[in-house]
Amino acid sequence: MAGEKNGATADPFEAFRKVRDTYFEGMSKVMIDAVNTEEYAQATGTLLNNYLTASAPFREAMDKAMVTALEQLSLPSRQQVIALAERFTNLETRLDDLDAKLDRIVELASRSPVATTGPPGERTRTSDAGPKSRQQTGGKH
Amino acid sequence: MAETVSLSNDWTVLDRKLKTFNRLMTTKAAIAQTPKELIWTLNKAKLYRYVPVVPAEKRYPVPMILIFALMNRPTILDLRPGHSFVEYMVGKGYDIYLLDWGVPGPEDSNLKFDDYTLDYMPRAIRKMMQVSGAKEFSMLGWCIGAILTTIYAALRPDDGLRNLVLLTAPLDFSNREQLTFSRWTDERYFDLDKVLAAFGNMPGEMIDFGAKALKPVENYITNYLKLWEGLEDPRVVEAWHSMNTWVTDIFPMAGGAYRQLIVDFYRNNRLVKGELNIRGELVDLKRLRANLLNVIAEGDHITPPCQSEAILPKIGSTDTEVYRVRGGHIGIMAGSGAHKQTWPHIDSWLADRSR
């Protein structure tokens, strides 16, 4: 009535929406309770376990075939690429350690009497110690 | 005649809604738009510094590093222009850094919490301190990021950490009745070794399904119904689009870290019991002395409040505050009310402690 007085037409689907929302609200509670049971946990666990067991032979066969094929093509296997990537990460870590040590040396040098009494152009400026390879990435990710 | 016009209008509206719906389902929104610069990388991890907008003399001298979970993008902290926590904090004069863990590849399947907290975080923090020139810093951890920051804060209390903000921190796993994930990952039902042997890393799709299955009706039905009803409202559309862009950007979690999450946390609750061992060091929460703001989402179904509440009596901090917000796991920081409640509260708490 209020809607009609304000010049708006009544929405015939409003009652339907209310019923629908009430249904989903109730359904939601039922489902939340259902997934929070031991039975659900057991059922999903069993399902996943069966899938993994059933697919394991195919995965293994595929892996073996792939390794053989890659060897024939003189291409590195997945494991070899992984090993290489791990070595890269180790190298990066070492470089980062070196970077930290260099920063420390620069910091100590800037505090030493020689650095503070030398010509201004030769002083080490720790405030500019940020990496020169900074990369503007605003607006992209 | 009037009925024909009305019917035609209805079809026009339906056509427009379908086109909008199709756009939302098939395109990505432009998220994470706040300007930033890359200042450090290690493996897949990247440390960004957000370009300050407040003059240096008016900025807070204590920088803040943001650390998000391992299985989702941290772009949720910078969702969209006009509705971004990062943008808000940068505008308030904070020097903000974001540690993005990146997407683990097969070569990262052995990465553990040990590596994240003792290799990656200290290095990223060192770079932040070097760039900012500060002696102390603040740290914000959200979800699993809150576990990582808590471990770091307890293991390295003398590294300059002044303020710690924990958001929906899953730290205490003792109340198994309230933790659906605990039930699902119980060793009687969930063969962790078999899953990780098959996949190496924990597939993002499985993690995503687990999170959505906690509230199946909301996530698979009503979410879309509400969107359909709001398709004529540009604000609803843009908010939904950016959130959906973030939600659907899923990737795996490093196998080693996932194993630790299940075994050490969900199954054995080792952190709160004082039994968590990180690369030979026992994590003693009493050593955590930083000022602490513990933000709890009252409607959180992923990290129920009981998981975050237990931390306070266990830690050594004297300046602590618990802030309870109405909302869910993500909603308290990225929902429509975040800029009125959570963000201003974090700002006011940090402001006094960042001078």
Cα of B182 to nearest chain A Cα, Å: 10
CA gyration radius, chain A: 33
Cα of A41 to nearest chain B Cα, Å: 5
pLDDT tens figures, B324-336: 999 999 999 999 8
Residue A58 shares a structural domain with residue A85? no
Burial of B26 (0-12, 13-18, 19+ CB in 10 A): exposed
Q: Domain for residue A124, yes or no? A: no
Q: In chain B, which among 178-207 make CB contacts under 8 A with chain A?
A: 180, 183-184, 186, 188-191, 194-195, 198
- If one counts the domains in chain A, the total is 2
Q: Which residue among A32, A44, A139 places its CB closest to the CB of B184?
A: A44
Fold of B29-201+254-353: Rossmann fold (3.40.50)
Residue A57 shares a structural domain with residue A83? no
Residue A87 shares a structural domain with residue A69? no
Q: What is the pTM of this model?
A: 0.88
Q: How far is Cα B336 from Cα B332, in angstroms, rounded to an integer?
A: 9
Q: Domain for residue A7, yes or no? A: no
Q: Domain for residue A110, yes or no? A: yes
pLDDT tens figures, A81-139: 999 999 999 999 999 999 999 988 988 998 877 655 544 444 444 343 344 344 444 44
Residue A59 shares a structural domain with residue A103? no
Query: Residue A5: pLDDT band by 50, 70, 90 thresholds?
Result: very low
Q: Which residue of A has its CA nearest to B45?
A: A89
Q: Note whether B35 contacts A138, CB cutoff 8 Å.
A: yes
Q: How far is Cα B256 from Cα B290, in angstroms, rounded to an integer?
A: 28
Residue A112 shares a structural domain with residue A58? no
Which uninterrupted H or E stretch holds B64? strand B64-67
Q: Domain for residue A126, yes or no? A: no
Say whether B300 is catalytic.
yes
Q: Domain for residue A44, yes or no? A: yes
Residue A69 shares a structural domain with residue A87? no
Cα of A13 to nearest chain B Cα, Å: 12
Q: Domain for residue A93, yes or no? A: yes
Residue A22 shares a structural domain with residue A64? yes
Q: How far is Cα B232 from Cα B228, in angstroms, rounded to an integer?
A: 8
Cβ–Cβ < 8 Å for B345, B165: no
Q: Domain for residue A131, yes or no? A: no
Q: How far is Cα B193 from Cα B257, in angstroms, rounded to an integer?
A: 13
Give me the total of CB pairs closer than 8 Å, taking one residue from chain A and one from chain B. Answer: 108
Query: Residue B247: pLDDT band by 50, 70, 90 thresholds?
Result: very high
Quick one: CA torsion of A119, A121, A123, A125, rounded to 10 degrees?
150
Query: Residue B338: pLDDT band by 50, 70, 90 thresholds?
Result: very high
Cβ–Cβ < 8 Å for B147, B116: no
CB neighbours of residue A47 within 10 Å: 10
Residue A64 shares a structural domain with residue A19? yes
- B32 reaches A (C-beta below 8 A): yes
- Which CA distances in Å does B157 have to B160, B162, B315? 7, 9, 12
Which ipTM did the prediction report?
Answer: 0.84
Given the residues B78, B143, B172, B241, the one annotated as active site: B143
- Structural domain containing residue A55: 12-74
Interior angle at CA B251, CA B205 and CA B137, nearest 5 = 135
Residue A39 shares a structural domain with residue A20? yes
Q: Which residue of A has its CA nearest to B111?
A: A86
Residue A64 shares a structural domain with residue A81? no
CB neighbours of residue B188 within 10 Å: 10
Phi, psi of B44, rounded to the nearest 5 degrees = -90, -10
Q: In this model, does residue B87 exceed pLDDT 80?
A: yes
Q: In this model, does residue B134 exceed pLDDT 80?
A: yes
Say whether B329 is catalytic.
yes
